[in-house]
Chains A and B, each alone.
Chain A
């Protein structure tokens, strides 16, 4: 509900800007549950479809992503299968299905590393406090000082190019922000009276962290994990696009985009579809993260 306000006798500019009426403060409607929100359902459906497509790619497209047919090279969508073919006559739809296996597996490995490293570090710092917290925080500051993508690239430089090194680099670069958020959340919960009560009952710090802090931090940490999933997907695809991750020819979405850029003029679909699938997947993860947070 908005009420238009009139301010008589103002300049033209002021009147023009009056179009931006200040909205009335309306009470925030109680949030609908996740399964009643169309956007969240769409996001979940897309993620499920992409995952299923990747898992069942050998069934759905048994010929595999590498079968080339030069006589069918650079066919537009429609003529050459659902989404057209690439420069070697390989079917784009098949490659996208199979590509999900590399892209999503890479993101999953990276995310496992992010949570596996970030969660214990953040919980430790946040629930212990004191010297442990101070030392860990300074270390995290130093870690965070390296821009995410550059940190991942440095790891790739040290380990050598490849899908696994790229996943490790991306996971390591996402772990520091995750630890930060876990620490802040743990600290906020540690100040609650029920933690004091648990301590008074003689619960060990470890038990408090795992049984009392972790469950209460779960919503925030899940939401942030989804946001980080979106992030590692993007960073991983960036590395593959730059040719630092998957070896050439791998039907990873980022690498496919890299293949497509040389044919941008003659076969724009080669770059358009992998980018679209990647963007929609990242968007779905971000959207779901936002909704879980709320």
Chain B
């Protein structure tokens, strides 16, 4: 097991290095001079801009710049915002709590809803229950979060006045955003759960368990859901990136404080170090969650452990 985790970690580091390199190359391809962008507003002279260029190390050879960038990353330094002159890492840290809170709440809601829908569809396969559940899944996959979010605001905060439409604070502010984002996640989970459960219900061991008179709920819980859980956990891990992107949009709909507003503003002002920092942080988060999901999968399914020699 330790060897497997080490191998996967090494792979993740390799991918992360490649991703960081892609981000570096993308920045180099950007038209315009960062020093000029930085000082444009203050009406700095050419000499001041040149001085700033030297200060930022922009006159060094590309190779040196790349090495310095990687060294900074290893030390956890994501660079400095062009607009605010502050550390990008600090700016992200200040805002990330709201986004993580939303992503986790939505992830849990989406998983519960998706598993319930998928299970219902599989158990009542071919009946109207199946049809309805799969229709809900299709709608979840096709509805943009910014529309479902607005509809929820319309119904639950403008007409019924149950929940606040925007801002953030207590749990009530989290309900609608988490529902919005969670619903958009549920569709893909429901589809996978349905396929998995249908496949597993066909397995001889389910018939054996039935023949031995084991109650149905035990069969479902112990013999069906456990093997089905592995791929589902992997999917939830893979969907984390989708969740982060969706969180940015959802935060904008509900005017929540979080990475979303920071991202949108940084893009509009072309504050590239901030954008790059957010992209890198989300890449790290994505790689970590998919690693954890893979480990959970291996833990849930002993067959996989043996195949991979863990």
Contact = CB atoms under 8 A, between A and B. Distances in A.
Contacts of A237: 144, 146
15 contacts: A14-B217, A22-B216, A25-B201, A144-B241, A145-B16, A147-B245, A150-B248, A158-B26, A161-B268, A237-B146, A238-B144, A242-B264, A275-B144, A283-B139, A286-B142
Interface stretch (A60-68, A93-101, A261-269): A261-269
Contacts of A234: 142, 144
B220 A20 contact: yes
Interface in A225-274: 230, 234, 237-238, 241-244, 254, 257-258, 260-261, 264-265, 268, 271-272
Given A238-B145, A275-B144, 7 more contacts: A5-B210, A26-B126, A142-B16, A147-B282, A158-B29, A161-B268, A254-B146
Contacts of B246: 149
Contacts of A142: 15-16, 18-19, 21-22
A10 B217 CA distance: 11
Given A146-B283, A154-B276, A279 B147 contact: yes
A148 interface: yes
B123 interface: yes
B143 A279 contact: yes
Contacts of A155: 26
Interface in A169-206: none
A272 B252 CA distance: 18
B85 interface: no
B267 A244 contact: yes
B192 interface: no
A22 B142 contact: no
A141 interface: yes
3 closest cross-chain pairs (CB), A and B: A149-B245, A147-B241, A275-B147
B267 A153 contact: yes
Nearest to B15: A141
Contacts of A238: 144-146, 245, 249
A283 B135 CA distance: 10
A248 B270 CA distance: 18
A20 B220 CA distance: 10
Contact of B201 (A11, A22, A146, A150): A22
Nearest to B221: A17
A5 B145 CA distance: 42
B206 to A, nearest CB: 8
A23 interface: yes
B149 to A, nearest CB: 9
Nearest to A147: B241
Contacts of A131: none
Interface in A125-162: 138-139, 141-151, 153-158, 160-161
B293 interface: no
Residues of B in contact with A, size category: 35 or more
A242 B147 contact: no
Interface string B118-158: 00000111110000000000110111111100110110001
Nearest to A276: B147
A283 B15 contact: no
Given A145-B287, A244-B268, A286-B142, A275 B151 contact: yes
A37 interface: no
Contacts of A151: 279
B18 A241 contact: no
A18 interface: yes
Contacts of A265: 158
B233 interface: no
Contacts of B27: 158
A83 interface: no
A142 B241 CA distance: 13
Contact of B279 (A21, A22, A146, A242): A146
Interface string A266-294: 00100110011011001100110000000
Contacts of B124: 20, 23
B284 to A, nearest CB: 8
B283 A145 contact: yes
Given A153-B267, A153-B275, A244-B268, A257 B142 contact: no
B263 interface: yes
Nearest to A287: B138
A71 interface: no
A154 B26 contact: yes
B106 to A, nearest CB: 14
Given A153-B275, A279-B143, A14 B215 contact: yes
Contacts of B158: 264-265
A35 interface: no
Contacts of B145: 238
Given A145-B286, A238-B146, A286 B138 contact: yes
A160 B37 CA distance: 13
Given A23-B126, A153-B275, A139 B18 contact: yes
B178 interface: no
Given A20-B216, A157-B267, A242-B264, A147 B242 contact: yes
Interface in B1-47: 14-16, 18-19, 21-23, 26-27, 29-30
Contact of B252 (A13, A20, A242): A242
B236 interface: no
A67 B4 CA distance: 64
B185 to A, nearest CB: 13
B267 A17 contact: no
In the complex, which of the residues A14, A261, A278 has the most CB atoms of chain B within 10 Å of its own CB atom? A261
A97 to B, nearest CB: 19
